[in-house]
Structure 1
Amino acid sequence: MIYIKMVLEVQGADKTNLFRVIWMDAQRKSMYIIDIYDPKAKPFECDVEDYQSLIKSKSAKVIEDPTLDYFELTEKSEQVWRERIAILERLGQEIEAPEIFHFEKIWKTLVKLERSLDCSANYMKKILRLYWQNGLNYKALVPKFGRKKIHNNCEQSLRLPKDLKKQELNWKEVIISSFDKYYKKNSKATLQSAYLEMLELCFSKKIEVDGISKLQLEDSYPSYWQFEYHTRHLRYTKDTLSKRWGSKNFELKGREILSVSQEKVYGPGSLFQIDATIADVFIVASINREDIIGRPVLYFVTDSFSRLITGVYCGLEGPSWNGQMMALVNSASDKVAFCQRYGVNIVEEEWPCAHIPQAIRGDRGELISAMAEEMVRLQGINIENTPPFRADLKGVVERKFGIIQGSIKPIVPGYIDSDYRVRGGKDYRLEAALTLEEFTKIIILEILNHNAKLIKGYRKPKDLLKDKVPAQPIKLWSWGIRNRSGMLRKVTEKEMKLTLMPRYEALVTAQGVKYRGMFYTSRKAVEEEWFSRARVRGSWKIKIRVDERNTNNIYYWDDKTNNIEPFELVPFDKERFSDLSFDEVAALITYENYRNNQIENDFLESKINKTASVREIVTKAKENTDRSHTETSNKKRTEGISNNRSKEKEKMRKQESFKFVENELDIQKSQNKTESSDSYNDAESKQDILDILDNLEKKSGW
């Protein structure tokens, strides 16, 4: 509801304006408002409904009157004030509303009143404007000159000693400017160093003593006390701390805290907060306890309203989507069955949460990935990401890490302390004794204790105080379920897993469904003849769900029928890649491709070298052939091919014939034959032998 004298803050396109309601008709349909800060403002008419709509849409809001102030009047200012009141009352008698709000229409009337009121028409306009802008009361007409402001005794007085006042007024600007340059903008500077830098640059001059340049202070300069005095009220302002610490650090450590975590949440499930940390304890392998496997990763999911830890994951998956997926699945899973897997027997009332929330808040990590968009699409879970370095915006879950780990620190072996990795410090790795399963069991027990523990500093809303609910997470959760449970929803563990599993594209081919170099098959695909159709008509793509930690199966989720079809590796790929993670397979394939590339490079080098050798042989052969050419005609050379072949064949037979024993007689005969054949010049007898051999070849069909 809008009333007269009310101040409205209206968000404009360029700036925010403050308007005061100065008149409203009897039907409350029309009203006049004026800008309270514009020195030349004029009242204007508007509809009440328009501004009520702006308030509902939060484009405008009602604020406290910013012009309220209290003053003591001097004798002179009180006289002027009473004169203004008299003028205002006379104007009210002569001109009625809403006519008085139109300066153009009443201008002639104001001019006629100049003599009787002994003031100008413009001065009358000023009085009316002051009255409307500053609260529609007589205090609005108090003149600014000659008035004394009533100071709050708690405020710091900045009055200076009289003997220093005149001198310090000249130095004040230099001191403030030096403070801005040398202290505010330099996070490493101290007030003392800023003071010295000011003296060096503003209150000293260069002189030469024995040819050496030195700085000498002027005769008069501000003392450190004066520098500190003038900057006292500036050192801890938001502007100074933001520039010295950085805006992100100031928002984390220096901003005002005017709200609480549960202020904007309606009940359980309105907002879950999720975060991960590396646990401060070393653990050992379950296969061989002598093997230290480092520090586990710890994920917590916490309800903002009740502070109940709704999900947990202890594992070796680094802060990643896989780890967060496990924590979110646990948050939606039955905790009785979960605890039984680790040998902890509970009833549902001890840890009753197995739900999905309306919204999840995390840092700019896993929740900013494409996988998180599936939660929004399939389950309607809103995602909130905090800005970088703003852990305070999810302080509920951040604090849980310190509380849970701090409680087990004195009794858990391998827990690291502040001297970890300090020279001469203890090596806590050698104390590791817990396996991952044992550590998870301890965390479960600590979570159960925490959920029943009284929360110190929990600020309860009115209805919680009325029902006398203790500030225990399990009690707050149970109360919220009974009274404010509209935000919680349940899904099956299977559905939650499929929602969180990453979604990718796979290619249907004649060899199977191809994904990351592996081929998969299923009963559905075989019965519906997917692979034969792919061979005849061509391949097509399908959407699949994948658990990155195991290649044995991929899952096809049919959005139309909502059925899930598991695909398994084809026999050949099962033999090669069974029970491996996709990262391991990718590494194997990458290494195989690398080896193939190396082999290909080696083959190309070998081929190039062999080709070069062939070219060398051919070149030498051509040179030798060219040197052996005589004046024999080409015709004669081609006619003698048969004879030449026979000669060459005879020579090769002698060289290629098998010889198992060589005696001296054979060696001598061979030498004699070679010598006689080399010196043999009887062309006719030699030709007879060749002719006989040629005839034998023709008859035998060689």
Structure 2
Amino acid sequence: MELRRNSIWEFKDSDLAEDSVYRVLDIMHDVESVVLFSLNGSSATVRPIALSIQAFTEQIKNHKATKSVFTVPNFLLVAEDNISEDHIARRDKNYNLIKDIIVDRAFLFDYATKKRTPRLAEYARKVGLERKALARLLTQYWRYGQDKMALLPAFSKSGGLGKERKPTNKPLGAPKQPRTVAVERAEKYIVSDTDKAMFKLILKKYYLKVSGLTLVKTYKKMLIDKYADEVRLADACGKPPFVPTLKQFNYWSKKLFSKDEIIKQRTSENDYLRNKRGLLGSVIQDSFLPGAHFEIDATVADVHIVSELGSQHILGRPTIYIVVDRASRMIVGMHVSLYHASWRAARQALVNCFLPKSNYCREFGIDINNSKWPCAHIPKELVCDNGEMVGLEPRKVLTPMTKLSFTPPYRPDGKGVVEKRFDILNKEVIHDFLGTTKGGNVVRGSRDPRKDAIYTLKEVTTEIIKAVLEHNSSIFDDLAFSSQLLIENDLSPTPVNYWKIHVIKHKHELQSANPDEVIARLLPPAEVSMTRSGIHFKGLYYSCQEVEDLDLTSIARTSGQWRLEARIDENTTNYIYVRLDKNQGFTRCSLMSRSRMFSNKSMIESDFIQDWLDSKKELAPITVASIDDHKSRNKMTKEAKQRNKNSKTITFAEKTKNIRQNRQEELEATTNILTAKTENQKVDSTLVPNVIENKVAVLPQGRKRKIKGDNL
């Protein structure tokens, strides 16, 4: 094995040297010796030893001498620029005192092999230094590496740093200094071992517990529990009590318990793990391939919205679902609705995640191709919290497609990537909307944000989609350190570039999604009715080419309507998916023109109309006028019955006899007649059709009016 100057070796069970760690000071081939210096000794003056090179190598072969390491003290591990000028001057001065003797190899060999070395005393007299002082400098130089930095003064341990001082009759630390001579400070208290033990008990009792008292209140509790007699006596004598001060109590609380112990004892385990533990790892350290983990979560948007059918109707705050790829930070799916966090809304976000995005964006007036948002895949594992995804239905639907992974309760850091996306969307878009709550940071007395709400659900969704597209094209520094493919292909570290290059290089965990399977499994199921006017759902009517070809509306008109299975996309009313035949798949049916008022709106607007209609019915189930009419009708019926009862009794045949003559007499009695002669000459047009009378009826003349100018 190669021997090097300054290398460290450990001797164990050797008959040539004591068990210790040695530094190789020099290798002298002319005398075939190696000079070693012991590093285990704490003495200020240590002399080196010399061994033959052959004997040293034999010890190595016999494994009695092995390679070792020496830990350099911290006060030597400092940059030249950070050393004070006083320390540099002291170091250089000591080095100049020994620089001539440390290069003398003959002196080193004699000093290591002989008990008396006159050269040391002669050199000490020459530089004007005592022999022992020179020996101490040489020991320090050889122990710490044989360079100039080894002579730095070790002032880092001055004052007994890190050592606990034993209490005496003399107070430790700085004395109490009054700010003016007019006031005399109280005598300083000396903290004994008994006091320290008492501090420890008091701290455990009041301070070191979840929701424990503050340190000041704990100090007051200690005075009440342990020093009450001293306080009473001092108060009676009119002098300060001779008790530990708050400053002393604070000092010893940090000495008796470490900071980590204090943090752990004063907080719950859940809060410590979530907010106070060290963050040495990361959720993305094992997820560097796209598709390995998708994270899904929901939050209530920080903005109030209004209805598209009437801006005077405030609908509250929508719920945003986001699905994020953990490796690339790509937002791969989203959904905005008025439903609370639930499986109904989550499944819509997953449908958006698993299907191409161009059609989805087109519904909101954003025209993109699938390459700009190239996410239509199923992940290897879907990470969610213990909420809407825990039920049996999500497991039954998603387990055949992907693996579900749940984070512990109250641990959002388990899916920190999606949590951060919510923060980004709030800061970039949502907090700029009118009607925003700004995350609850509303000053008391300020304007209610609901008064400023002007945006509809569709408008908010449109802006969030734009923000998602911008996010996917933004540069994230962390991505540059996650994969070298970006650097090799000279691509900006954006989520979309990270996604695309890994897919192209076949380094991903993505699975292709079958659109028919996604629609059948994930879209919310519903029942629709086939009617004579089309497929009816929540007051809306749909149709498709197959319905027209099979003339199903005509069948429904003649044979009666029937139920059909359907899948509803909550994002739009423009279409639904209907299974027209139980042995076939789902057919896309479009909104008919008779329901055009709901075109390009979300399905929630249909629900709103239903609720609005129900509220109007509840507001006026019947009118007040109908009540009065009903009472008047009953009164009239009662009077008519009484009148009929009072008339003379005749048979039904007599009642129905001469109806036409009775009708004519009733007309003569109840209407204005010009002349009796004219009336007698009238012919019933119902009995003699197409009869034209050539008779002129003479109308009565009025008085002759005078015309201006007649007298001329």
Answer 1 or 2: which has greater helix percent. Answer: 1
Per the normalisation by structure 1, the TM-score is: 0.49
**TM-score, normalised with respect to structure 2:** 0.48
